[in-house]
């Protein structure tokens, strides 16, 4: 039974890549070893639950961080700190347009600042599809 569960959990993990069911496969392996040592089914179940839970709780976050599972890589963070220039003036509490690296972006200023046409700006942050910029 434990060998079948190892295979099933491994196949589920291979299909989903969610770093969840692999820990249950390892728990099933620990229960299989416990079974081979002659322990009863209650002990095997306890070992399975404890091993799977400990691995899931303590190693899954580390594995997700290292393997970057569930993160879409984008270059959006690379635009922060870049210099651009205003192609449509940015008025207080309104958006304007900024050209950065050859691309036109909708942009706004933090708080009570305005930036005129053709002024140089620095990108502070990205909020959705808008740049937050300040005068350079």
Of 15-19, 24-28, 119-123, give the lowest mean pLDDT range.
15-19
> What's the whole-model pTM score?
0.50
pLDDT at position 71 is 54
Q: Which H helix or E strand runs over 55?
A: helix 41-58
> How confident is residue 77, by pLDDT bands cut at 50, 70 and 90?
confident
> How confident is residue 74, by pLDDT bands cut at 50, 70 and 90?
low
Angle, alpha carbons 109-112-114 (nearest 5°): 55
> How confident is residue 72, by pLDDT bands cut at 50, 70 and 90?
low
How far, in whole angstroms, is CA 97 from its chain's centroid?
Answer: 29
Note the pLDDT tens digit of each residue in 43-62: 999 999 999 999 988 887 78
Q: What is the C-alpha to C-alpha distance for residues 62 and 64, in angstroms, rounded to an integer?
A: 5
In terms of DSSP bridges, do strands 130-135 and 96-100 run parallel, antiparallel, or are they unpaired?
Answer: unpaired
Which residues have CB under 8 Å from 124's CB, separation 6+? Answer: 80, 110, 131, 132, 133, 134
- Structure token digits, residue 47: 């070992």
Note the pLDDT tens digit of each residue in 101-121: 899 999 999 877 899 999 999
76-135 domain in CATH 2.40.50.140?
yes
Looking from the CA of 98 toward its CB, the CA atoms found within 13 Å total 32
Burial class for 94, CB neighbours closer than 10 Å (0-12, 13-18, 19+): exposed
Better-predicted residue by pLDDT, 63 or 97 = 97
Q: Mean pLDDT score of the chain, rounded to an integer?
A: 89
Residue ranges per structural domain of the chain: 2-67, 76-135
């Amino acid at each position: 039974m434990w060998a079948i569960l190892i295979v099933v959990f491994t196949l589920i993990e291979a299909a989903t890549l969610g770093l969840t069911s692999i820990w249950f496969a390892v728990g099933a392996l620990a229960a299989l070893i416990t079974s081979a040592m002659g322990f009863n089914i209650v002990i095997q179940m306890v070992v399975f639950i404890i091993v799977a839970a400990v691995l899931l709780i303590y190693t899954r976050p580390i594995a997700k961080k290292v393997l970057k599972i569930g993160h879409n890589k984008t270059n959006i963070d690379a635009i922060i700190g870049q210099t651009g220039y205003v192609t449509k003036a940015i008025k207080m509490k309104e958006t304007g347009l900024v050209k950065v690296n050859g691309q036109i972006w909708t942009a706004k200023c933090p708080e009570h600042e305005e930036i005129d046409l053709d002024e140089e700006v620095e990108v502070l942050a990205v909020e959705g599809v808008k740049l937050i910029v300040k005068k350079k």
